Amino acid sequence: MKLLKSVAAAVALCAAVTVHARPLAEVQKDGKILIATEGQFAPFNFFNGTTLTGFEVEVAELVAKKMGLTIQWKTLGFDALLTGLRQDRWDLVIASHGITEERAKAVTFTEPHYCSGGMIIAMDPAIKNAKDLSGKVVAVQTGTSYLENVKKVSSIKEVKNFPTDVDARSALTSRRVDAWVTDRFVAKAVADKNPGAGFKLGDMLFIERIAAAVSKGNTSLAGAWNKALAEVMADGSYAQLSKKYFNEDVRCSN
């Protein structure tokens, strides 16, 4: 019994030592920051062959460099990202999360790295705004702010959830749904890249500020990230990246 108790105590101690949010000083000592993203949300985070890239992946690289850190990337399903952050399995998440009240209860958001919103995209040009969604079936990625906001549209027939945004898009192209709601820049990129596919961009349903997140209360890490982000936003390097991906500056204007 005594032995069992001390084994249990040792296990608990180990868990307490290894599983905790790493404050800035600890990350700096290591020289590496562990960042999780999804890798299925072009042009923000995606794989080009086997290389993880995208606007926010490159923004993170710029920010980390200013912080004097190298990034160790981890890619996981969107749904697992904030959950793993709460378990302190990585230091930071950057995966186009909109700052919502609900999420802010569970994690600490940094300053936003871009502003955007959920846009309606359909094949039928008659489906343009929230009213047009009446009686329609709409595809969204599970766990996203699109899901929350589409649910609020009254008289919608059904919201279909998909594990990735790419799956939600496929549901639209194969006409299993009437519309797809995704990020406006994702929608634009898809329409631009497939000019003959018949995608029709509709209105924005809502707007949101997109930010990275750290473990709840890890203010030293969030503070250093924010300072470095402000620097890349001031020195022209953010602007250059934004131009490369979007041909416009996507930072929040306030």
Q: By CB under 6 A, name the binding residues for ligand ARG.
A: 38, 41, 45, 78, 95-98, 141, 144-145, 165, 183
Q: 34 is written with which tokens?
A: 């562990």
Nearer to ligand ARG, 108 or 145 (CB): 145
Nearer to ligand ARG, 44 or 199 (CB): 44
Task: Quickly count: other Cβ atoms within 10 Å of residue 99's Cβ.
Answer: 17
Smallest separation, CB 25 to ligand ARG (Å)? 29
Smallest separation, CB 17 to ligand ARG (Å)? 31
Nearer to ligand ARG, 110 or 145 (CB): 145
Nearer to ligand ARG, 22 or 162 (CB): 162
Distance between CA atoms of residues 39 and 73, nearest Å: 10
Q: Is residue 184 within 8 Å of residue 173, measured between CB atoms? A: no
Smallest separation, CB 250 to ligand ARG (Å)? 13
Q: Is residue 75 within 8 Å of residue 60, measured between CB atoms? A: no
Distance between CA atoms of residues 51 and 45, nearest Å: 10
Burial class (CB in 10 A: 0-12, 13-18, 19+), 125: exposed
Q: Considering only CA atoms, which of 233, 212, 251, 231 is closest in space to residue 67?
A: 231
Smallest separation, CB 28 to ligand ARG (Å)? 27
Distance between CA atoms of residues 166 and 180, nearest Å: 10
Q: Considering only CA atoms, which of 45, 24, 114, 59 is closest in space to residue 235?
A: 59
Nearer to ligand ARG, 98 or 112 (CB): 98
Nearer to ligand ARG, 22 or 110 (CB): 110
Smallest separation, CB 3 to ligand ARG (Å)? 47
Q: Is residue 97 within 8 Å of residue 45, measured between CB atoms? A: no
Smallest separation, CB 51 to ligand ARG (Å)? 17
